[in-house]
Amino acid sequence: MKFDPVEHPHRRYNPLLQQWILVSPHRTKRPWQGKQEDTDLSQRPGYDPKCYLCPRNVRANGEVNPDYGATYVFENDFAALLAEGPDDTLMSTHNGLMTSRPVTGECRVICFSPRHDLTLPEMATDEILAVVDLWCEQYLELVQKHAWVQIIENKGAIMGCSNPHPHGQVWAGSFLPTEPAQVDKSQREYWREQGRPLLLDYVEAELADGSRTVEVNDHWLVVIPYWAMWPYETLLLPRRHVRHLGELTSAERQSMADILKPFLTRYDNLFETSFPYSMGWHQAPGKVAGMDDNRDHWQLHAHFYPPLLRSATVKKFMVGYEMLAEAQRDITAEQAAAALAKVSATEHFRQKQK
């Protein structure tokens, strides 16, 4: 029997996490009578007097936001990491079965815009550039005193976002978290074997192939990764060797804003909804105990993990087999890229509705 990746189940390998994922494209033929998400297509106001993140409003801790006119960053009122804590001492009992150690850090909130109603794809390119610049500034500041700086955005209630005002977060901690530690290990091993960054070679392979490319410009590439786990998962990558956000030139920052707008517009246009996702930057860590200072094996990249599968109301569930065996996806990465390629990258569906 001749293998057909669109019809036959198969596994794909993720070289960053050194894990396999099961691909089952034939499962899209099954009927769906399960959970369907509610959709809210109503247009939010530009300012909400009850929003904790809008300019001039009182936050939950009683502090008042300034009358900010662009991006705005502040210390998270309910931070997951605290700046001060006990000494970093490993505590282990019962032959290592119960082990813990204190950690410290800080968490910040980044409001993308004073506008309550504008997500990144609906913002002007120069406004997106202001967000890009702030990401770079936050990394450069926080990596000086923290082992890991995690910049994230959780977009949409379906992704656990507790406030609809478009915003992101920065978590900086005294430790290298589990997934970045594995990504560091994988890139370091590839560098030792090949003498080149793993993801730079991957960029060249994807540019040559083209079947998973969503957007490309002079400095950046957006692809559905070959090993994608979520249906419309994407990877944003620089086209030259860049270890972290702080190494981006002004032209590359502008180019990132230029590619984010059409790419995220495609997301929203796919199911004509404000496309939910969790995104985050992976980049070279700071000082890590027991690790040398060489970071040349690192290649800057951002992951976008959207949960939607068939429509604005039907999402992919990671349950059962995925939780107990290995990750599984229904449509192939190539099918997902083709679907995104068909929709407009220039006219947002809200503009069309107007």
Q: Can you list the alpha helix ranges (DSSP code H) found in 195-279?
A: 198-209, 250-270
Rounded to 10 deg, the angle between the 178-194 and 198-209 helix axes is: 80
H or E stretch at 138: helix 125-142
Distances (CA, A) of 17 to 13, 14, 247: 9, 6, 24
CA distance 53 to 72: 9
Residue 220 and residue 301 in contact, taking contact as beta carbons nearer than 8 Å: no
Active-site hit among 146, 167, 244, 303: 167
Instruction: Name 116's Cβ contacts closer than 8 Å, sequence gap at least 6.
Output: 44, 45, 46, 47, 48, 51, 53, 54, 164, 165
Residue 138 and residue 149 in contact, taking contact as beta carbons nearer than 8 Å: yes
Q: Is 219 a catalytic residue?
A: no
Residue 142 and residue 170 in contact, taking contact as beta carbons nearer than 8 Å: yes
Nearest in space to 232 (alpha carbons), one of 200, 264, 199, 280: 264
Positions marked catalytic: 167
